[in-house]
Amino acid sequence: KGALVKYGFMVAVSFLVQCVFATYLYYDLPDQYDSEIFCNNNSFLQSSAIGVFLLLMLRNFPQIITQGMIVILAEYYKNSDDSTDVLHNRILRVPRRTVMFVFAVCTEFTAWFAVLTVGCLFILNAESDTLIVRSTVAITFIEQIDEMVFNSCVEAAIRDRVKDTVFLIPGIGGGDSEQAKSRPKAKSFYLLFVTSLSLIIIYSLRFNRFECETWYGRNGTHV
């Protein structure tokens, strides 16, 4: 309850700022795709931009799922300096879990999905190769707003405590999202998956949606 009162405003501000940026970019999109502009842009740059953006965005999805499971299912937690037998009770009633799920998890998923959708559309609608790069940088900035607010507004001691806390989910074990860092094979597969997905997206758009004549693009980088 104390954390919700103390840091709830921070969560609300991050959510609103991301939604405002995403809404502005959405209404700034053209009503229809311009096939000539899309085909003239460098396809390798398009796929690279989409790939980098998806690489940054999709990594957050497992974390959101983990956070949802922690809010709903976690009953115990332990800190990094605790012994293996020390567990702290974390029994919360359903109403409080519901409030936390809606306020923390649902808002983050909504902002994440909005930025993901608008970001892909914004990058694909860029009118030149240079604007593709600028669009990718701008959308990446929006995606990191919540992290910037967290690092700027939360005390270092609280950040370290959050990082070192492991929540235990019955039947699953540790619910710490940091476990993903110890899975090099999963990371390699993730990189291969995102690279393939970005190439498939651009290839499908160029030859199925817009019927472009070439794969590379007719124009070089321009403003």
Q: Which residues contact 212 (CB under 8 A, 6 or more apart)?
A: 35, 38, 39, 206
- pLDDT digit string, tens, across residues 24-63: 888 888 776 777 778 888 888 889 999 999 998 888 888 8
Q: Between 199 and 214, where is the model more confident?
A: 199
Residue given tokens 């991301």 in the structure block:
18
Q: What is the pLDDT of residue 203?
A: 87
pLDDT in the model for residue 197 = 92
pLDDT in the model for residue 60: 87
Amino acid at 75: E
Side chain identity at residue 39, one-letter code: C
Where do the H-state alpha helices sit in the chain?
Answer: 2-27, 35-40, 43-58, 60-73, 94-100, 107-124, 129-143, 145-153, 156-164, 184-204
* pLDDT higher than 70, residue 90: no
Q: How confident is the model at residue 99 (pLDDT cuts 50, 70, 90)?
A: confident
CA 186 – CA 127 distance, rounded (Å): 35
Average pLDDT over residues 117-136: 86
Q: Which residue has the higher pLDDT, 89 or 210?
A: 210
- Residues 13, 209: Cα–Cα separation, whole Å: 38
158-187 residue pLDDT tens: 777 767 777 776 655 554 444 444 455 567
User: pTM of this prediction?
Assistant: 0.75
The span from the CA of 178 to the CA of 163, in Å, is 8
